Amino acid sequence: MPTVDINGFQMYYEDRGDGEPLLLLHGGTGIGADWRHVFTADPDGYRVIVPDLRGHGRSTNPSKAFTFRQCARDVLSLVDHLALTRVKAVGMSMGAKNGTRESMAMSSLSGSAGRIEIPMMYGMMISIMTGVVTPPTSS
């Protein structure tokens, strides 16, 4: 799977499937592959994009610094690199916090409002319980 130079580091990500883009953001000290514990298979109808965030998994962090603001910028740069005009995102813990920052950052940029949809604030389970995100069903 690809690695891309973004904001002074190498970001590893997986890009699978076809359909509406869905960005899966892992939690702190996790890796993108952690989503296998949530989804046994990628959700049907989605192009699933799963990065390892800065300093996690197969992504580097030459600066040895980590901030939520920088992490949000990194993910926005990945979205730009992939030329996505619109993407849905789901995050676990820290990933949800980053998703919220990304959404807020995009809405403050001219012409970018609503580019990243975040259906939850601080955790996927809240979204599933409120029906905002439908959990996958077995076929």
CATH number, domain of 55, equals: 3.40.50.1820
Question: Is the pLDDT at 127 greater than 60, yes or no?
Answer: no
Is position 96 within any domain? yes
Taking residues 104-108, what's their average pLDDT? 46
Is position 109 within any domain? yes
Q: State the pLDDT at residue 101.
A: 53
Supply the mean pLDDT for the chain.
75
Q: How many domains does the chain have?
A: 1
- Tell me the helices (H) and strands (E) count for the chain, helix number first: 3, 6
Is position 138 within any domain? no
Q: State the pLDDT at residue 137.
A: 45
Q: State the pLDDT at residue 116.
A: 52
Whether 28 and 94 have beta carbons less than 8 Å apart is answered as: yes
Question: Is the pLDDT at 29 greater than 80, yes or no?
Answer: yes
Is position 50 within any domain? yes
Is position 137 within any domain? no
Q: State the pLDDT at residue 6.
A: 94
Taking residues 89-117, what's their average pLDDT? 54
Is position 125 within any domain? yes
Question: Is the pLDDT at 18 greater than 90, yes or no?
Answer: yes
Query: For residue 115, what are the domain limits?
Result: 3-130
Residue 61 tokens, joined: 């962090």
Is position 71 within any domain? yes
Residue 1, C-beta contacts closer than 8 angstroms, at least 6 positions apart: 12, 13, 14, 15
Q: How far is residue 122 CA from its own chain's centroid?
A: 13
Residue 56 tokens, joined: 């996690």
Whether 31 and 14 have beta carbons less than 8 Å apart is answered as: no
C-alpha to C-alpha distance for 61 and 9, rounded to whole angstroms: 6
Taking residues 35-56, what's their average pLDDT? 91
Whether 29 and 54 have beta carbons less than 8 Å apart is answered as: no
Is position 20 within any domain? yes
Higher pLDDT, 134 or 49: 49
64: left (phi over 0), alpha (psi -120 to 50) or beta: left
